[in-house]
Amino acid sequence: MRIPHFALYAHLFKGFALVLSGAIIGSAVYMSIHQHAYNELYIQMHKYLEENAELKDDLDSLTKTKNKQSLVSVVNVHLLPKNQNELISEDIQKEIEGDVKGELKLVIGQKAAYVRDSQPLYERLITQRTYILHEKKYVVEVKSIVLIQNELTVWITAEEKRT
């Protein structure tokens, strides 16, 4: 029995190796694009979930006080950068705003006159409060508190506490 020379099939093996390496590289590129798109959708979904939770909270507070115009029904918290050199990431900003808003939930449903008279109390409640997020400590200070009709708006700054 005669065995054919390997040299006759060498070019076929080179072609097969080239096609196989192209398939591997192509699948790696496809997976990286797919993973990036999935990551973007994941981030967008969490933003929508947070916005949905905020809107549900606002709706609950508004339905609780819809017939009582002299009661505080909405609390808004805005985080301002302390200085331009140390900007805080967006997710940490949202968490700090949510924590401060959670502490001020006791204001919802109270009379606007009482809240207006006790603004220094709410300021002391928030000022110099330390929040631990992602293994970092942040100290919060109140810039201003404004009560307009039934909406309490608080502007705060946060700075990472170095130990």
DSSP 84: T
Task: For residue 119, name the pLDDT band (cuts at 50, 70, 90).
Answer: confident
Query: Are the C-beta atoms of 161 and 130 separated by less than 8 Å?
Result: yes
Q: Is the pLDDT of residue 59 over 70?
A: yes
19/26 Cα distance (integer angstroms): 10
Q: Residue 49 has what pLDDT?
A: 95
Task: For residue 57, name the pLDDT band (cuts at 50, 70, 90).
Answer: confident
Overall pTM > 0.85: no
- Sign of the Cα torsion 86, 159, 94, 59 reads negative
Q: Residue 155 has what pLDDT?
A: 92
Query: Are the C-beta atoms of 111 and 71 separated by less than 8 Å?
Result: yes
Task: For residue 11, name the pLDDT band (cuts at 50, 70, 90).
Answer: confident
* Average pLDDT of the residues in 155-161: 86
Average pLDDT value for the chain: 87
The residues that bridge with 155 in the sheet, in sequence order, are 78, 144
